[in-house]
Structure 1
Amino acid sequence: VANLLRLFQIPQISYASTSSKLSDKTRYDYFARTVPPDFYQAKAIAEILRFFNWTYVSTVASEGDYGETGIDAFQQEARTRQICIATSAKVSRSMNRQGYDNVIRALQQKSNAKVVIVFARSEDARELLVAAARMNATFTWVASDGWGAQESVVRGSETAADRAFTIELASYPIREFEDYFTKLNPYTNTRNPWFKEFWEHRFGCSLQEPGCSEHSLRDGAFEQESKIMFVVNAVYAMAYALHNMRQAVCSNTSKVCDAMKPGNGKRFYKEFILKTKFEAPFRPVDTQNMVRFDSFGDSISRYNIFHYHQEEGKFVYRKVGYWDQNLTLNTSLVPWPDLVPPTSQCSDPCRKNEVKSMQPGDVCCWICIPCQPYQYLQDEFTCADCSFGQWPLANLTGCYDLPEEYIRWEDVWAIGPVTISCLGILCTLSVVGLFLKHNETPVVKASGRELSYILLLGVLMCYLMTFIYITKPSTTVCTLRRLGLGTSFAVCYSALLTKTNRIARIFSGVKDGAQRPRFISPASQVAICGALISCQLLVAVIWLLVEVPGVQKEVSPERRDVVTLKCSSRDSSMLLSRCRPPPCASPSV
C-alpha cells in the first residue's frame, strides 16, 4: 500500500506495520506509523539475552518482511553484544507438518543453544509450538510481538511454551471503544459490509435464522485487540495534522478553504504529520503516552515483556518488565527451576585457572586451557608467568613475592647444631679457664701455652661459626662466613702444625747432638703461627675482592614456589678458597 500511495504523494499513517524497511525514506517517503519499527524489539530481545548471559542461541523467522527484516535486525544487535547464532530456520504458511518437525530437529542438533529466538507470525509460532510438543522438545523461547501475549498461540501446547519470554507493544485497553463495540448489532452497524459475516461467525448462526440477531456482543468474554490503541492514535494523528494544516493555510475561516484543495501531500507529510504531537486520547489517568513521530515517521518505542509460566495449576502470561530504550526486568516474578536461569552458551565458562582458546571466526566457542601453577591470568585469553621469586595470587589477577626460605632459629635443623655448639663453647671456655688458672704451672708451660691458647681460640671460632651460618643471610653475614669458615680452621691447624713442627725439631736436634734449634721461643712460635694464618686471610681477602659478597634468591625450576635466600657465592669459589699453596696447605689438611 505504501508503494502505491507514494506514487500519488498521498501520506499514510499505519497502526500495525512494524517492518524496519518502512523507515527507509528513500522508498517510503510518505509513510508514518503509530507503532515502532521491528529493530527496536530486536534490540530489546538482544538485551534480554545479554541480561541472562545467553550468548549462544538459535533463531526461527517467518518468511516475508516481518520475520526476515526482524531477524536481520536482531542478528545485527546480537553481533554488537557478542551473541552467536547457532542455527537459523525459516517457516512459512505453506509449510507442512514434516517441515515443522524438521525445524525442531535442526534446533535440537545444537544442544548447547537452549534458547530460541522467534520472529514469526502468530500462526507460524503456533504450528512451531505444536511441533515442539509433538516431539517432546524443550526450549526457552524468546518471541517477538507476533506471538506477544496471545492465548491462541499457546492453546494446546502450553507445556512446550512453558518459560517463554514474549514481547508485546506497550498498550492499554480503551474502555470507550469496548462500550461502543459491544453495543453494535447487524442492524445498527450497516456501514461495515463485513460486520454481518463477523456476527454469524461469532455466534455460529445465520441471520436468516430467527433469534440470531438477538445475541449481544456483551455475552461471554470480550478481549480487546491490543493494537486498538494504535488505531485510535493513528486516526487522531491524521485529524490533528489536518486541523493544524487548516489553521496554517486557512487562517480566515473555520472551514476547509481553497488553499487545501488540491492537497500538497509532500508539504502535508513533512510540515504537519511529522510535527504532530499530542497526548494519547482515552488513556488511563496514571498513564503517560505522548503520540509523536521522529524524522523517519516512526513512533516512540515501548514494549512490555511477558513470561509464560504456570501459576496455581494454570498457565498465564505474567508481565515481568518493559523496554523503553533501556531494559527493566523484575526477575523475582520469573519462577526458574532450581531458582537459577538456564544456560545457553556454546562453551562452558572456564574455571578460575583456565584461559579461553577461541575457535577461528567464532566469539562464543572456545576451549579451556589450564595455566601452569606459576602463571596468572593476564586476561581471559592469556596466561602469563610470574617472575622468579613470585607466585600467583589466589584470584590469579597478579603475583606476590614468595616468602624467603632460610634456616630459622626455631627450625629442627638449627636447634641440633646450636645445642652442640653451645655445649662445645662451654667446654672450650672451661678448658680456657682451667688453663688460665694454672697458667704459670710447669705442665701448662710445657704444653706450649701460647699455641694452646691459639688452638682453643680456633676451636671457639669453629663453634661460633654455627651461629653465623644460621643467622639470616645478609651482606655482613655473608662476609663473615667467607672470612670465618676458613680462618677458624686455619687457626686450629696452624697452631697444631707449629706445635708439632717445634717438637719434631727439638727431638731431632737432641738426637743429632746439635745446638738448640732456632725459632722455638714462644714469640717465634706465635709469629710462625700468625704467618700461616695470614695465608688463609690473604686468600679470603682476594676472594672478597674478586667476588663481592651479597645475597641472592634462588629458585629451582622444578620447585618455583620455593625461594631460598642464600649468599651469592659459587660452589666453585668456595672450593677454590680452601686450596692454598704448598707452604700453607698443611694447616688446612
Structure 2
Amino acid sequence: MVILVVFILVLLPHVPCKPHINCMVRDPHNPLHEYHQLGGNIIGGITSQTFIISNSLTFVEAPPPVLFEELVYFNAKNTYHATMQLMSSKEKIVPNYICDIQNKLIAVVGGLDPLISHHIATVLDIYKIPQLIYGPAPVMNDKTTGLSFYQMSPKDALQHAGILNLLLHFKWTWIGVLISNDEYGERFVQTVFPVFTGKGICFAFIERSSKFTIVTEMYDTLHEGAKINDKIIDSKANVVVANGESYLIVYLRWLPYASERECTINKVWILTAQIELTSMVFQRTWDTDIVHGVLSFSVHSSDLPGFKTFIESKSPSSTTGDGFIRDFWQQAFGCVFLSVDGNKVDGDICTEWEVHHFLKIVSFNNSAGDKISFDQNGELVTGFDIINWIISSNQSFHRVKVGRMDPQASPDQVFTINKDAITWHNWFNQVQPISLCSESCYPGSSKKLKEGKPFCCYDCIPCPEGKFSDQKDMNACSTCTAKTYPSKTRDFCIPKFISFLSYKEPLGISLAFFALLFCLITVLVLGIFLKHHNTPIVKANNRNLAYTLLISVLLCFLSALLFIGHPKQVLCLLRQTTFGMIFSVAVSCVLAKTTTVVLAFIATKPGSRMRKWVGRSLANAIVLSCSLIQAGICTVWLVTSPPFPDVDMHSVTEEIVLECNEGSMTMFYCVLGYISFLAIISFVVAFFARKLPNSFNEAKFITFSMLVFCSVWLSFISSYPSSKGKYMVAVEIFSILASSAGLLGCIFLPKCYIIVLRPELNNREQLIRRKV
C-alpha cells in the first residue's frame, strides 16, 4: 500500500485543492520547491507542513496559511496539535474518533525537519499509519519499536561519504561546518568528525544556527547570526559544509544583513540534500551571490518525460481545476492580478510572458523513471546527485548536475565528479579554490605540527641528514634503503657506489707508491751496510741485529700493500696479523739494540759482572721472546674471532664500503698495545742511555726513532675510530709507513751519511774521540 501511495504521488497528473478546502502550512516563502519536487502536482496551497493522502485522494482541511502561523509549526506542541487534527473529526478534535468514513487517512507525507517527523511519527504510530519522510531520519535516542516511517532519501552515511569524497578530491582539508542547533546537527558532527579526521580533514570551526519559533526570538537569532557571519568571513577555510533543515538558506541569506561588516561571505558552500533554495517573500529581491557556486547533494532523479511541456503550458489564465496557480504566481513574481470587478489594485500587474521566461530557466530533476524501493531500515535505495547552483546575472537560478554518488556502481565509480563543469563563486575567478590551513610541504621536507593547533596546521621543516621525502605533505621523512642515500635536496634516493681502497684511485696509487719507494730506500740502505759490513760503524752495536732490523723495516713497508685492493678472505686474515708480527720483530730489534748499548757500557767498567751477558745470544733472545709473545696473541685472535670480509652500508652516506671486519677489536688493540708497550720500553731505556760515549752509543738515534714511532701510533689510536670507509684503511697504511720511515730515518740514515759521505769518520779512533 505504501509503495502504491508513493507511486500515485509521483505520477498523479494533477490533484487540485478545491477553493473550499485548505491545506496545512508548508513554506509559503518557497512554493516552487514542491512544484518541481513533486513533478508538477501543484497541491493546494503548497504550504502544508505535511501532505495527507486519503483513500479518496482528497485533502484534510486545515487553517489558512499565514507567515507567523507557519513558524509555530516548528515546535512540538503545535505539531502534536496538527497531527491530532488529522486523526479527529474536522469540526472538533476528539481523540480516536472520526465520523467521516469517506476520508480515511492511510498515509502521511512528512517534511524535511527530522524533529517534526519524529513528533508526527509518535502520534501516527498509535494508529499504525506510515509516514513518508524525504528529509533525514529522526534521531531515535530512546527509539520505540514500531515507529512507522519511510525515508524517501538514501542513507545519511552515503551522503557523508559523498561529502568526504568531494573534500578529498579537491584536497580541501581545512573546512568550516554550519549545523542546526539540535539533535540532528549534533548527530551529524558526532558521525562525521571521527571519519573526516581519520582521512585528514580538519575543522576550522563548527557553528550552530538556531531557529526561532516565536517573533520575540528573532533579534537574538540575528545577533547570533552576525557573530557566525563574521567568524566565517575571518576564517582561512574557503569551504563550509552546511547541514540543516530546508530553511537554512533563508538563514544564510540573513547573515550579511545581520552583520555590521560590509564584507560578503566568499566561500564554497557544500549543502546536504534536505537544504533547498528557499527564501521568504521579502527576500525575493535580495542579492543571491552567497549561494552562487554552491555544491549540493540531491536525491538522484531522472528527467520526467513531458513535464517541461506541462510546465510551459501553465498560465494564470488556464486555471481550470486549479485555484492555486494565481496565488503561486503572485507570490513568486511579486505582482497582483486585476480583480474580477475591475477595482483598482496596488502593485505591479501580473502578465503571462513572465512565467514562461521564469520556468524556462529553472533546472531540476524528477524521480520519475527511477526504481523506488526501500531497504530493511525503511530508507530509499538510491544515490545522490551532486548539483552546482548557478546564479545568472539576471538572478535566474540554474541547477547543473556535476557528479554522482552511486552505491550500486562498481567501487571505482561510486563517486564521480566532473570538475570542469563546475562554476565556482566569482571570488575565485573560476580557479579551483584552495582550502588549507597550511601550504603543502614539498618533497624534501615534512610536517611539524603547530602546538595547540589541529593536525592540518603545521610548519614545513627540511628532512634531517640521512632522510628524504618524495611526496607532498609527508608526516615524517623516511630513511633510504641500505643501498641508497638521499639526494642533496633530500627528495629522492640515489644508489650508493661500491667503495674500497683500490690501486686504481689516486689515494691507493699514492700510498702504494710511497710504500714501494721506502722499500727501495730500505734495500739501498741494506746494500750499503752489506757492502761496508767490516767498517767500525756497521760492526758497532751488533751488525746482525742491524740487518734483522732493516729486513723487518723492509717487510713493514711491504705489509702496507696488503691493505690496498679488494678485501678478500686471505688478505683479511693476513694483513693485521702480518703487520703485528713484523712490527713486533722490528721493535724487538730496537729494544735489543738499546739493551745491548746499556749492557756494553756497564760491561766496560772494571770488575763488572755484566760482561757475560753482552753478546749475540742476549740480543737474539730478546728478539725471539718478544716476537713469540706477539705470535701467541695473533694465534688466539685467529682462533677465537678472526678477521673476515664485510660490507659496511652505514658508515659512509654515499658508499657501500667493502672492508675487512677485524672480528674482535679487542684482539686488534691488544696487538697494537703490545707493539706500543715494546716501543715505550725501548724509548725509556734509550732515553736514559742517550749520554753514553758515542763509540758504544746508538741510544740518541733510537730515542728519536721511538719518539716518532710512539707519536705516530698515538695519533693513529685517536684518528682511526673516527675515520670511515677506505679512509680508515688509509690512516692505518699511513701510520705503518710513517712509523717505519721513522725507524729507518732516525737509526740508519745518520750511519749511511758517515759511510757514504764522510768515510774519514768511519774508523775506530774517530768514533772513540767523538763525544755525545
TM-score (norm 2): 0.51
Match of 2:168 in 1: 50
Query: Is the Cα–Cα contact under 8 Å of residues 292 and 390 in structure 2 kept in the other structure?
Result: yes
1:331 aligns with 2:422: no
Structure 1 segment 124-135 matched on structure 2, within 5 A: 124-128=251-255, 134-135=262-263
Stretches of structure 2 lacking an aligned partner (at least 5 in a row): 1-49, 51-119, 213-217, 344-348, 408-413, 687-698, 704-772
Structure with the greater relative contact order (CA < 8 A, sep ≥ 6): 1 or 2? Answer: 1
Which segment drifts farther, 50-59 or 203-212? 203-212
Structure 1 counterpart of 2:581, one-letter code: L
State the aligned residue count: 511
**What's the CA shift for 1:481?**
2.3
- Going from structure 1 to structure 2, the CA distance change for 1:5 and 1:164 (only over 3 Å counts) comes to same
1:92 aligns with 2:227: no
Match of 1:426 in 2: 520
1:533 aligns with 2:631: no
Structure 2 counterpart of 1:206, one-letter code: L
For 1:136 and 1:43, the matched residues in 2 are separated by 30
Structure 1 segment 486-505 matched on structure 2, within 5 A: 486-491=584-589, 494=592
Match of 1:480 in 2: 578
**What's the CA shift for 1:537?**
0.7
SS at match of 2:372: strand
For 1:565 and 1:311, the matched residues in 2 are separated by 79
Query: Residue 141 of structure 1: which of 269, 282, 286 is its match?
Result: 269
SS at match of 1:125: helix
- Going from structure 1 to structure 2, the CA distance change for 1:407 and 1:369 (only over 3 Å counts) comes to same
Structure 2 counterpart of 1:103, one-letter code: I
**What's the CA shift for 1:425?**
1.8
Structure 1 segment 281-296 matched on structure 2, within 5 A: 283=369, 289-296=370-377
1:467 aligns with 2:584: no
Match of 2:19 in 1: none
TM-score (norm 1): 0.65
SS at match of 1:58: strand
Match of 1:9 in 2: 128
Structure 1 counterpart of 2:228, one-letter code: V
Query: Is the Cα–Cα contact under 8 Å of residues 468 and 490 in structure 2 kept in the other structure?
Result: yes
Structure 1 segment 380-391 matched on structure 2, within 5 A: none
Structure 1 counterpart of 2:251, one-letter code: D
Match of 1:205 in 2: 337
For 1:185 and 1:163, the matched residues in 2 are separated by 31
For 2:356 and 2:211, the matched residues in 1 are separated by 36
For 2:155 and 2:544, the matched residues in 1 are separated by 111
For 1:399 and 1:480, the matched residues in 2 are separated by 41
**What's the CA shift for 1:321?**
1.0
1:439-498: CA deviations, max 9, x gaps?
A: 9x9669984875554343133124324434667693432212221222233346646876
For 1:328 and 1:197, the matched residues in 2 are separated by 41
1:283-340: CA deviations, max 9, x gaps?
A: 4xxxxx2111222332223222134579999996543211123321123444776966
For 2:602 and 2:455, the matched residues in 1 are separated by 93
Structure 1 segment 538-549 matched on structure 2, within 5 A: 538-544=628-634
- Going from structure 1 to structure 2, the CA distance change for 1:142 and 1:186 (only over 3 Å counts) comes to closer
Q: CA RMSD in A?
A: 5.8
Match of 2:386 in 1: 305
Structure 1 segment 399-418 matched on structure 2, within 5 A: 418=512
Match of 1:69 in 2: 184
For 1:200 and 1:312, the matched residues in 2 are separated by 23
1:4-31: CA deviations, max 9, x gaps?
A: 54443333445xx313118998477443
Match of 2:227 in 1: 102
Match of 2:324 in 1: 194
**What's the CA shift for 1:368?**
7.5
**What's the CA shift for 1:100?**
2.7
Query: Residue 243 of structure 2: which of 119, 128, 133 is its match?
Result: 119
Match of 2:304 in 1: 174
Query: Is the Cα–Cα contact under 8 Å of residues 543 and 577 in structure 1 kept in the other structure?
Result: no
For 1:290 and 1:92, the matched residues in 2 are separated by 36
Match of 1:265 in 2: none
For 1:424 and 1:36, the matched residues in 2 are separated by 91
Match of 2:551 in 1: 457
SS at match of 1:535: helix
1:179-215: CA deviations, max 9, x gaps?
A: 3454456676454443443345556323426698994
SS at match of 1:305: strand
Match of 2:436 in 1: 344
SS at match of 1:220: helix
Structure 2 counterpart of 1:125, one-letter code: L
1:321 aligns with 2:453: no
For 2:613 and 2:522, the matched residues in 1 are separated by 28
More strand by share: 1
- Going from structure 1 to structure 2, the CA distance change for 1:209 and 1:430 (only over 3 Å counts) comes to farther
SS at match of 1:221: helix
Query: Is the Cα–Cα contact under 8 Å of residues 478 and 551 in structure 1 kept in the other structure?
Result: no
1:89-117: CA deviations, max 9, x gaps?
A: 214363665443211123345x3433211
Query: Is the Cα–Cα contact under 8 Å of residues 19 and 38 in structure 1 kept in the other structure?
Result: yes
For 2:682 and 2:153, the matched residues in 1 are separated by 109
For 1:114 and 1:536, the matched residues in 2 are separated by 84
For 1:117 and 1:191, the matched residues in 2 are separated by 43
1:138-161: CA deviations, max 9, x gaps?
A: 322211235557899998656544
**What's the CA shift for 1:572?**
7.5
For 1:218 and 1:391, the matched residues in 2 are separated by 72
1:540-571: CA deviations, max 9, x gaps?
A: 13433566664899x9xx99999998852576
- Going from structure 1 to structure 2, the CA distance change for 1:195 and 1:496 (only over 3 Å counts) comes to closer
Structure 2 counterpart of 1:320, one-letter code: V
For 1:140 and 1:71, the matched residues in 2 are separated by 22
SS at match of 2:357: coil
Structure 2 counterpart of 1:51, one-letter code: H
- Going from structure 1 to structure 2, the CA distance change for 1:158 and 1:583 (only over 3 Å counts) comes to closer
**What's the CA shift for 1:79?**
1.7
Query: Is the Cα–Cα contact under 8 Å of residues 135 and 274 in structure 2 kept in the other structure?
Result: no
- Going from structure 1 to structure 2, the CA distance change for 1:115 and 1:583 (only over 3 Å counts) comes to closer
For 2:490 and 2:302, the matched residues in 1 are separated by 53
For 1:213 and 1:114, the matched residues in 2 are separated by 41
Query: Is the Cα–Cα contact under 8 Å of residues 299 and 385 in structure 2 kept in the other structure?
Result: yes
- Going from structure 1 to structure 2, the CA distance change for 1:156 and 1:415 (only over 3 Å counts) comes to farther
- Going from structure 1 to structure 2, the CA distance change for 1:220 and 1:560 (only over 3 Å counts) comes to closer
**What's the CA shift for 1:170?**
2.6
Structure 2 counterpart of 1:305, one-letter code: I
**What's the CA shift for 1:174?**
2.8
For 1:175 and 1:224, the matched residues in 2 are separated by 17
**What's the CA shift for 1:538?**
2.4
Match of 1:264 in 2: none
For 2:311 and 2:682, the matched residues in 1 are separated by 128
SS at match of 1:102: helix
1:516-549: CA deviations, max 9, x gaps?
A: x9899xxx84x55432211321231343356666
For 2:443 and 2:356, the matched residues in 1 are separated by 62
Structure 2 counterpart of 1:297, one-letter code: G
For 2:602 and 2:383, the matched residues in 1 are separated by 117
Which segment drifts farther, 47-56 or 334-343? 334-343
Structure 2 counterpart of 1:11, one-letter code: P
Query: Is the Cα–Cα contact under 8 Å of residues 154 and 161 in structure 1 kept in the other structure?
Result: no
For 2:537 and 2:165, the matched residues in 1 are separated by 102
